[in-house]
Structure 1
Amino acid sequence: MRHFLASLLLAAALQPAQASQPADLFDFWVGDWVVSWTTADGGTAQARNRVTKILDGQVIEENFEGATAVTPRLLGRSLSVRDKSGTWRQAWADNQGGFFALTGGADGEARFFATEFRQVGDKRQGQRMRFYDIRPDSFTWDWEGSADGGKTWTLMWRLHYRRAAP
C-alpha cells in the first residue's frame, strides 16, 4: 500500500472541468458505504466510507476508514465543493502522508475527480478517480494513472461500493 500511495504522489493530472457544473453532480456519493476490493494476493479487503453533506449542504465530506486487516490501515478525509465558478474541487488527505488537490466533472454518466498533469522527465503524468456504473445502492470507483497526458489510463485500484445496511 505504501508503494501504491508513493506512486500516486509522484504525479498529478487534471481533466479540464466544464464551467458551471450541476450542484448535485456528486449527490449519488452521499451515504454510508461498505467498500470492497481485491488485494494483491487475491484476497478481499473492506473499508467503510461515510459521505455526508455539511456546511448548509454546500460541501461533501468523505470519511474513509480502511479495514484493520490491511496493513498499513488507510484512513482518509476529503472535502468536495462546487466553487463560485461552478467547478467541483476536492482536497484529500490521509494518515499515510497523501494529499491531492483535484478538479471534478462528468464524462457521460461517469463522474471523476482528477489531479493536474505534471511533467516528469519525458512523461506527462497524472491520476484520476472515476465513479461509474452508478446505481441507487452501488457504484464502482477506479483510481487510474496516465503517463501520456490522459491519452490512455491504467487501472491502479478498483473499489466496489454498496450501501451499508441501516
Structure 2
Amino acid sequence: MNDFDFFIGSWNVVNRRLATLFAGSDDWNEFPGASICRSIFDGGGNTEEIIFPTLGSRGFTLRLFDVEREQWSIYWANSRSGVLFPPVVGTFVDGRGDFYGDDTHEGRPIRAHFIWSEITPTSARWEQEFSADGGRTWESNWIMEFTRAVT
C-alpha cells in the first residue's frame, strides 16, 4: 500500500516528450518541471502537482491504492484541458511499477502504459508509452527524470 512513499516531497524534473505520436518520429522536446507530491490516506494515496514553467501549464496526478484489489489507479489531468483522463491501473514488482489503461488519441482508441523505475531515495524515472494496436507494439512518448529537490 505504501509503494509511492518514495515519491513524497519536492522534485526537479527533466521532461522529454515525443513531438509527434504514431508517426515514426525521433524528434523529442525537452523541458523542465518542478513537482510536489503529498501523501493521503496514510500512504494509500497521494496527489502531485507538476509545474512546466516554459510551457505555461501544470499537471495533476491522483494515485489511489485499491485495498481489495491490491493495485494502484493513477489519474492525470492538466491545466490546458481541465479534463481528468481515464486511469491506468497496476502494481509494483521488484521495484518497478507497471500501470495500464485504455484511452484515446486524436479520437482513436489506444492503450496507455506508465512505467516507474530506477527508484532511489533521490531519483526516479517515469515513462509513458502508447499502443495503437491493442498492446502488440508500444511507442515511448514521454520520459520524466526526477531528482529530489534540495530544500
Please classify the TM superposition score into its range, dividing by the shorter chain length. 0.7 to 0.9
User: Hey, what does 2:65 align to over in structure 1?
Assistant: 82
Q: AA paired with 1:147?
A: A
Distance 1:89 1:43, change over 3 A: closer
How much has 1:93 moved relative to structure 2? 1.6
How much has 1:53 moved relative to structure 2? 0.4
Question: Residues of 1 paired with 2:35 and 2:52: CA distance?
Answer: 8
Q: AA paired with 2:3?
A: L
User: Hey, what does 1:54 align to over in structure 2?
Assistant: 40
How much has 1:44 moved relative to structure 2? 4.2
Q: CA RMSD in A?
A: 2.7
Unaligned runs of 5+ in 1: 1-22
Structure with the larger RCO, 1 or 2 (CA within 8 Å, 6+ apart): 1
Distance 1:154 1:61, change over 3 A: same
How much has 1:47 moved relative to structure 2? 0.8
Of 29, 34, 37, the residue aligned with 2:12 is 34
Distance 1:42 1:113, change over 3 A: closer
TM-score with structure 2 length normalisation?
0.76
| Counterparts of residues 145-160 of structure 1 (less than 5 Å) | 145-160=130-145
Q: AA paired with 1:32?
A: S
How much has 1:164 moved relative to structure 2? 0.3
- Please state whether the residue corresponding to 1:24 is helix, strand or coil: coil
How much has 1:99 moved relative to structure 2? 2.5
Report if aligned partners of 1:129, 1:144 keep a CA contact under 8 Å in 2.
yes
TM-score with structure 1 length normalisation?
0.70
Unaligned runs of 5+ in 2: 20-26
How much has 1:124 moved relative to structure 2? 6.2
My pick for the range that moved more, 150-159 or 39-48, is: 39-48
Report if aligned partners of 2:47, 2:61 keep a CA contact under 8 Å in 1.
yes
User: Hey, what does 2:52 align to over in structure 1?
Assistant: 66
Report if aligned partners of 2:47, 2:62 keep a CA contact under 8 Å in 1.
yes
Given the alignment of the two structures, is residue 96 of structure 1 paired with residue 80 of structure 2, yes or no? Answer: yes
